[in-house]
Amino acid sequence: MTTPRAAGPTGPAEPTGATGPAEPTGPIEPAGPAQATGDVIERRLHPVTPLRRAWAPVAVVIGWAVHDPDGAQRHLTRLTTTTLLIGLAVIVPAAALYGFCSWWFTHFAVTGTELRIRTGLVFRRSAHIRLERIQAIDVTQPLLARVAGVAKLRLDVIGTDKKDELAFLGADEARALRAELLARAAGFAPETAHEVGEAPSRQLLRVPPGVLAMSLVLTGATWGSLTAALVVPPVLWLVTHSLWTVLAVALPLLGAAGASSVGRFVTDYDWTVGESPDGLRLDHGLLDRAHETVPPGRVQTVRIVEPLLWRRRGWVRVELDVAGSSNSVLLPVAPRQIAEDVVARVLPGVTVPQPTTLAPAPRRARWCVPVWWRGYGLAVTDAVFAARSGLLRRSLALVPHAKVQSVRLTQGPWERARGLANVSVDTGAGKTVTARLRDTAEARRLLAAQAERSRTGRRDARPDRWMA
């Protein structure tokens, strides 16, 4: 692994967030057909898109067969060769027609302030995505899309749970459109945004496949799911002698075991972290390649996770909470020192508290949580609220003061009897970080102090910007 080097970005003005009518603009040259609607040039997706959408009618038939296998088998046995050929002659053209119409009636356009996506033949849907509300734009390429030279553009937008996406675009067009949208969100003028191009990226870290594989071998969840998949089905067979019961339990267990081992290896393969003006770039995937971006200034929480079997090697996993984004992993595995250097890129000015600096819970906390109370710890610095939990699988959560939305103190009856309390902070990502089992007097002081730190932190925080 390579160690990150320092960088000091500075950048243009923050977007104004105007809400007036969109200015007519001329976006990047499209790779596919385009048509003009008023003063806005609308474009269609890549011509291979109908092949993707043509599977919908076929998927309906497959779903019915899975839902009612007995009925599907009865109908299949009644079909003659002639009837089957006639059915295929109807279904295949219908699927092709559906895919073509779905593609033909889908358009998108970029204006001065928003991205517009219009879809639907019978039921029309129009999405108007304000550029200043875009959290992240990821480019993903499933295996077949890589072969066809196309890519999917996925957009995380503030205030929405579901991602909007453009699937598919030519690979080069997808990257150019992403660069244009980020440039406009950063405040570049519409007439020059399409000329900015993709921001340069400098590699900070690459996780070797051998290290990734070893980390999965040393993960308890991998062995737990594998053990369950090997032990539970034989026990069920001895008890029930029902093949269907065994299959109904064994298949999900085998799927979980595969997802926690082989699935994670395939997803996290060749994990690369790069530094660019628009945030940290994450590239990973063996079959499906994903190109994601961690937007600057919008990370709500960083978690440094340290499983028991990783400690001897000094490895950690870094997870993220980003408001409105599905990005949840920054580093699947890395040496602790390198991980802390990368965290400093995500949270500028933040130094990760060392384990020796965390204040442990009082000894009387053992009457509330035996043994596991030793895993709780707390540190509050000028930049972050840091709370540790877990004994076998340690997790240190870092919340910048400016990202704290609310603070609260809670006490159960047993905790009140022992003079203990919990202090929780809520973030903009809808997550909560709790400092558990603190002395009651300390918790009350922490509650008042944290409310003040959060207020001043939001006032002094730098504005969120895409480009730098």
Cβ atoms of 378 and 365 within 8 Å: the answer is no
pLDDT tens digits, 46-83: 888 777 666 666 666 777 766 777 777 777 777 777 87
pLDDT tens digits, 280-317: 889 999 998 988 888 767 889 999 999 999 999 999 99
* Residue type present at position 442: E
For residues 440 and 421, give the distance between their C-alpha atoms in angstroms, rounded to a whole number: 5
Ranges of the chain whose pLDDT falls below 50: 2-34, 36-38, 466-468
pLDDT for the residue 62:
73
pLDDT for the residue 361:
95
Which residues are paired to 331 by β-bridges?
Answer: 318
The label of the residue with tokens 């300390």 reads 442
CB-CB neighbours of 12 under 10 Å? 14
Tokens found for residue 228? 């369950």
CA distances from 183 to 113, 137, 152, 191, 440 (A): 12, 12, 19, 11, 49
pTM metric for this prediction: 0.76
Which residues are paired to 438 by β-bridges?
Answer: 421
Q: How far apart, in Å, do the first and last CA atoms of the chain sit? A: 26
For residues 106 and 169, give the distance between their C-alpha atoms in angstroms, rounded to a whole number: 12
Cβ atoms of 204 and 82 within 8 Å: the answer is no
Tokens found for residue 178? 């992403």
Pairing state between β 384-389 and 377-380: antiparallel
For residues 442 and 439, give the distance between their C-alpha atoms in angstroms, rounded to a whole number: 5
User: For the residues of 404-449, what is the DSSP string, one character each?
Assistant: EEEEEEE--HHHHHTTEEEEEEEETTS-EEEEEEEEHHHHHHHHHH
The label of the residue with tokens 């079997």 reads 309
The label of the residue with tokens 């003659």 reads 80
Helices 55-67 & 69-78 angle (0-180, nearest 10): 110
pLDDT for the residue 315:
97
Q: Comparing C-alpha atoms, which of 134, 236, 147 is closest to residue 178?
A: 134
